[in-house]
Amino acid sequence: MAAVTEDRRRITVRLTVLQVSVVVTFAALAISFWFLQIVQHAQYEEMAENNHQRTLALRAPRGVLFDRHGKVLVENRHSFSVSIVREHTKDLDRTIRLLAAVAGLDLTQVRQIVDRHRGEPTYRPIVVIEDASLAQVAAIVARRLDFELPDVVVEEVPMRQYPTDALAAHLFGYVGEANDAQLGDGVRTGAIVGQSGIERVYNKLLMGQDGARRVVVNSMGREIRTLEEVPPVEGRRVQLTIDYDLQKAAEDGFKHAGFNGSALVLDPRTGEVLSLVSLPAYDPNDFAAGIDRATWAALNSDALRPLQNRTIQGRYSPGSAFKIVIATAALEEGLVDPDFKVYCGGGASFFGRYFLCHLRGGHGVVDMRHAIEKSCNVYFYTLGNMLGVDRIHKWAEKLGLVGLTGIDLPNEQDSIVPSTEWKRQRTGERWYPGETISVSIGQGQVTVTPAAMAVMMATVANGGTRVTPHIIRAVDEGGGWKAATPPVVPERVAFRPETLSALHDGLWMVVNAAGTGGRARIPGRDVAGKTGTAQVISNQGRQAARGGERDLRDHGWFVFFAPKDDPQIAGVIFGEHNGHGYLGAPIAKHVIETYFAKREGRPLPTLAPPPVPPPVPEPDPDSAPIEAPAIARVAPGAAPRTIAPGTY
């Protein structure tokens, strides 16, 4: 009996515990339901809404580029992009296969694009096609309406549009999808940013600010309505210093002449770049929509290197154009005056070696002005020997031929004019005085960029102010144009009046008297200039390599300014493997004529038909007949000629 009573008591306790547990459980559930549905109703309602909402990025148009007179150079056009949103896909592999088939794409390439972005959030669209054709858009939209491609989005986006003739390609640069190194500071994955040229240097100004559109979608991912839209903010409009007509004149001049190279034309008073040319070039429009692998491979494998901006990245021996530096240094150091004379009998001996002048019979007795006019090697051998390499380096640096010019373009290469310290640091060897002879006519270890040569000529033109080339003239601040500040304050190189007079007179005579630049002569414009021809390879090397595929012709230079007494335009024409410096003079002439015709409101000049080449090549007065480094030219048993006594 006692045992039965004990069992009943245990059962009663258990039932009581169970009843209490049930009550507590239901009470907790009731409280939870009340908390979730009443207290946190707004929060969970928003989460539910987010399950059928999507935020779409609205790409901002990049800022428009204008020339100095307001002509549109680079703008934007409407295009369509096609993206996959993995957040709404049930079978990504099927979507990839169907999209490739519908759009006529290579399946492997589509897979590679998707694979590159797999690590990103699934809600972020993966752009598969930039600048889709209307046929592709129509085919994809039709499949979306049939619910075959609900996870594929077609969006209208702004696309960069450059001149169709690749005008100023290296100046403008191109855009492309941001790489890993460019992410951050407002740049996110998939953003389109500048990759070279102005597009890269001024990307922050041009990029603008993306907008957003929040839409409601159904269970299939189809948009139902727009909830909110924040419009994109266009990038800043930028006015360049470039003159479209001068740019076209320079490029047309190269095409007319039939050789590649580069040109940089400046306003010598301010350093504003009026024209920048590098040929061969590429079409920046190929990059705007995402360059295909075949085109990219072709550009990179092209032996002519169309992706290289020769104006700031190509380094070449300046040849006789460097004689301007030697003349300036000798005059400014007080070693000679403009009337200093040297006898040229066709060559001269220095340090036991005989160096020829380009004129076999010699120039006779010449002073500074006539030595510049006739480009007499012997005269400048003499000055170079008197100066020594360190003083040559000093004045080359003052004129802008050492280091960087500071132009506001990316990846500029520095120009090199050797010195004793430069050689010691580079090779651990001392400088030999005989090496200075080659340097004195722009050969040997002197290598400069065309941009540096343009700065040198602008400095000589304006009377001794070394300007910094710059390309941005003004920026639209929203309320109007604001003048851009040049990157560097000009540096004054105080020339003596007699130095400036001798240089300007000699350079004027090169074009307007018996010099080598007569092809640049323009009646009434007083064009001043200097030609230069630089060896690409020694004569022995040229003979050894004859029959090969490499172009071994000399490079040609023509540096210029006009008018002589009030320079308003200055620059350089560099011909790569064109053989002779004087061949660049007609290009400079066409640019100068275009400049003054436009300024005076006259019709722009046109280029005459190309002249018939002569049956026998013309001798080049600027061609350096020495090797680099210089090699003695003494016939067996013959006594070397010497410079007339008392001339240095």
Query: 620 vs 130, which has greater pLDDT?
Result: 130
Q: What is the pLDDT of residue 443?
A: 93
Rounded to an integer, the average pLDDT of 559-575 is: 97
Query: 166 vs 51, which has greater pLDDT?
Result: 166
The answer to whether 387 and 333 have CB atoms below 8 angstroms apart is: yes
When pLDDT is cut at 50, 70 and 90, the band that residue 54 belongs to is low
> Dihedral (C-alpha) 175, 180, 184, 188: value to the nearest 10 degrees?
60
> Mean pLDDT of all residues in the chain?
84
Task: State both tokens at 243.
Answer: 């003159």
Rounded to an integer, the average pLDDT of 481-499 is: 82
Query: Quick check: 329 pLDDT over 90?
Result: yes
Rounded to an integer, the average pLDDT of 222-247 is: 85
Q: What is the pLDDT of residue 46?
A: 53
Q: What is the pLDDT of residue 276?
A: 98
Task: State both tokens at 353.
Answer: 């070696």
User: Considering the chain, what percentage of its residues have pLDDT values greater than 90?
Assistant: 53
Q: What is the pLDDT of residue 430?
A: 94
pTM here is: 0.82
When pLDDT is cut at 50, 70 and 90, the band that residue 603 belongs to is very high
Rounded to an integer, the average pLDDT of 593-617 is: 79
Run of H or E residues at 246: helix 244-257
Query: Quick check: 625 pLDDT over 70?
Result: no
User: Considering the chain, what percentage of its residues have pLDDT values greater than 70?
Assistant: 84
3-state secondary structure of 225: strand
Residue 525 DSSP class: T
Q: What is the pLDDT of residue 72?
A: 95
Q: What is the pLDDT of residue 522?
A: 96
Q: What is the pLDDT of residue 529?
A: 97
The answer to whether 493 and 223 have CB atoms below 8 angstroms apart is: no
Phi, psi of 317 (to 5 degrees): -70, 135
Residue range 393-426, pLDDT digits in tens: 999 999 999 999 999 999 999 999 999 999 999 9
Q: What is the pLDDT of residue 43?
A: 60
Q: What is the pLDDT of residue 641?
A: 32
When pLDDT is cut at 50, 70 and 90, the band that residue 95 belongs to is confident
Q: What is the pLDDT of residue 149?
A: 77
Rounded to an integer, the average pLDDT of 513-539 is: 89
Which among 530, 532, 534, 531 has a CA at the least distance from the CA of 317?
Answer: 534
The answer to which of 69-83, 167-181, 346-360, 623-637 has the lowest mean pLDDT is 623-637
Residue range 20-30, pLDDT digits in tens: 778 878 777 77
Q: What is the pLDDT of residue 546?
A: 47
Query: 128 vs 246, which has greater pLDDT?
Result: 246
Rounded to an integer, the average pLDDT of 96-121 is: 82
Q: What is the pLDDT of residue 126?
A: 80
Q: Residue 319: CB partners within 8 Å, gap ≥ 6?
A: 441, 442, 443, 532, 533, 534, 535, 554, 555, 556, 557, 581, 622, 624
Which among 268, 180, 306 has a CA at the least distance from the CA of 490?
Answer: 268
Highest mean pLDDT among 7-11, 233-237, 256-260, 454-458: 454-458
Q: What domains lie within the chain, and their CATH numbers?
A: 54-218+227-240 (3.90.1310.10), 244-287+311-599 (3.40.710.10)
Residue range 371-398, pLDDT digits in tens: 999 999 999 999 999 999 999 999 999 9
The answer to which of 81-85, 218-222, 330-334 has the lowest mean pLDDT is 218-222
Residue range 342-362, pLDDT digits in tens: 999 999 999 989 999 989 899
- Distance CA(311)–CA(292), nearest Å, equals 27
Backbone dihedral region for residue 321 (phi beyond 0: left; psi -120 to 50: alpha; all else: beta) = alpha
Query: Quick check: 175 pLDDT over 50?
Result: yes
Q: What is the pLDDT of residue 544?
A: 43
Which among 585, 572, 578 has a CA at the least distance from the CA of 534?
Answer: 578
Highest mean pLDDT among 58-72, 208-222, 293-307, 369-383: 369-383
DSSP letters spanning 420-484: HHHHHHHHS-PPPHHHHHHHTTT-TT-BB-HHHHHHHHHHHHTTSEE---B-EEEEE-SSSEEEP
Query: Quick check: 537 pLDDT over 60?
Result: yes
Q: What is the pLDDT of residue 133?
A: 81
Q: What is the pLDDT of residue 179?
A: 74
Q: What is the pLDDT of residue 122?
A: 72
